[in-house]
Amino acid sequence: MAATLSTGLKLAEPRDDRPSLQTMPPEIINLIFEYLVPQPPEIGETRPVGYHQLLEEEEPWFDFTRCRRGLRSMCLASRRLSQLAFPLLYRVIALWDETAVLLFLRTLTDKPEYGPWTRYLSCHLTLSELSVIRNIRQLLPRYLDTFRPAPGGGVLITAARHFLQMLRAFLPQMVATEGDFDHVPQALICFIMMFVTKVETILLQVPISDDQQEYEVLCEQIKGLKELFSREPEAIPLQHVHTLMLQGDPELLAEIGKDECECDVPEVWGSQPRKYASLFASCPRLTTLEVSSDDGVWTSAYDEARLFPSGPSGDDDKGPPPPFLGNIRHIYLHNSVAYPGDLHHLLLNAPMLETLYMSPRDDVEFREALEDNSLEVAHPEALDIALANHAKHLRNLDVSWQDISGFESLVGPEGRLTSLATMPTLEVLCVQMGLLYGKPAAVLETPLVELLPPNLIELVLEDWWFFNVRLLSELPKWTSAEKVRYYQDEHSYRVNALRTLVRFARDVRSRLLKLRKVALVCKIPWKWVLEGAVDIEFHFEEVKRLFLEQGVEFSVRSDEL
């Protein structure tokens, strides 16, 4: 009960002036809600397990699912908060299973105004995989009658209505017959892409095995969208896509990698980006391509047909098509089996490329080495030649291999990338010492500063020589005594390596005027680390001081095995 003064006046109840979501300005609420927009996991992640089985800090999908749950809760809190949170709920869409594909398409056909809210779309199903086709066939009878297309006469709504009518007409035959309607999952995803008109990033899980059909139907459907929307050119889909991710099926990849795998593993397998040229061409703003688990072949489909003809072709008179990666400026290859000659063809097909990143697939033996394996002369398809002649816009280069024994001529003369020193556009470089010098003895012959691009800003040197690959399987099993013995045996190597880096630090401003950062990555820790006595930083104090005097930041780290 409120207190009363002697005058009989009643004191007012204290007011709570603390702000709440209900009273905050919408601009502030939007900033808060933006933190709830989930960040999708990196390319190559498998689908999440059940919601309650996800472990915090261990499962990449944990934060994703919790953020979506938070946004959904805000949508249910009040009408005002729902108006602000609802568009963000559709900002990032990840389709994990067949039910999600059908339900999301149902939502879009019913509420097409939701589609433009989506900026990121990922599909974590291999659309031509037999189990996916069967699951879609089994789910259609349950959900197809629940679709209620929005009224309207636009191209998109009309096409969706006709597509649903066709599915209903063929549904009995589709459920009873296998093989005749295998393209339906691809068609569903195509329609989803048509509705999300402002999408900027798309992740497609693609086949990595010959047992699964490539997405020819999907690519042809997308190619035909320009003609379909000829009367509404402003509504043509995929006009805002700048990043495309082709994810090799990670679940099948994990199965193939098992020691006890009973499946038939092909000699060369992986995703085949060259088969998606029409998809690239349908995205006029596409600049970034990420691929996981590619098969290493980057010749164009035209070149393949010309080199390995299966019959007469009527296209010879038309001449070769333009490079199928003509507009791509950034390419990231994860878990790739591309070898140096493959990257030669990649650069040929991506003349505007600014960024090339490639991480190699582990535990992979290269294809049979070339018969002409001269170390003195570069092969006509060497990576070094492609960098010199077809990488005029390249600014960032990061490629590596565990082993190129037998393929030295496909790197360059003596297995070296000699063209790096003449590339004026290159600003960021991550390179293995083995690719710079060919062999450790050569570090005493040529100063490191003379091997690097003149306008380099950031440099990462990987302390890796390809003959060390034999140690990779042994290192995790080494005892402490074996690690100590290896450290002692590598004394001369450390002396020469430090001499090279000290000279590099002293000479750096004679040629590399823009260099700001240098990092050394030691791939075999026990070359530099003596457990309990010497850490890796101990060896590089003088190197770090000399670089600092030149205004260059130097750091060193070791891979954990």
pTM of the model: 0.91
pLDDT value at residue 331? 98
Q: How far apart are CA 205 and CA 193, in angstroms?
A: 14
pLDDT value at residue 262? 60
Q: How far apart are CA 25 and CA 38, in angstroms?
A: 23
pLDDT value at residue 278? 94
Q: How far apart are CA 246 and CA 331, in angstroms?
A: 11
pLDDT value at residue 305? 66
Q: How far apart are CA 539 and CA 151, in angstroms?
A: 72
Q: How far apart are CA 50 and CA 153, in angstroms?
A: 41
pLDDT value at residue 2? 44
pLDDT value at residue 311? 54
Query: For residue 556, what are the β-bridge partners?
Result: 520
pLDDT value at residue 543? 97
C-beta separation of 542 from 503 below 8 A = no
pLDDT value at residue 315? 52
Q: Is 144 exposed, middle or buried (0-12, 13-18, 19+ CB in 10 A)?
A: middle
Residue 443: how many CB atoms within 10 A of its CB?
21
Closest CA to 494 of 519, 450, 530: 530
pLDDT value at residue 7? 47
Per-residue pLDDT reduced to its tens digit, 172-213 = 887 666 666 899 999 999 999 999 999 999 999 999 988 889
C-beta separation of 494 from 451 below 8 A = no
The structural domains of the chain, with segments of one domain joined by +, span 23-89, 92-254+268-291, 296-304+322-426
Query: Which pairs with CB-CB distance under 8 Å and at least 24 residues apart come from 260-264?
Result: none
Give residue for tokens 């339900």: 103
pLDDT lower than 50: segments of the chain = 1-9, 314, 372, 374, 561
Q: What dihedral angle (degrees, nearest 10) is formed by the CA atoms of 285, 290, 294, 297? A: 40
Q: What dihedral angle (degrees, nearest 10) is formed by the CA atoms of 547, 548, 554, 556? A: 90
Characterize 4-13 residue by residue with b for buried, 16 or more Cβ atoms within 10 angstroms of its Cβ, and e for exposed: eeeeeeeeee
Per-residue pLDDT reduced to its tens digit, 61-108 = 888 888 889 899 888 888 888 888 899 999 999 999 999 999 999 999
Q: E-assigned strands of 91-132?
A: 92-95, 120-123
pLDDT value at residue 240? 97
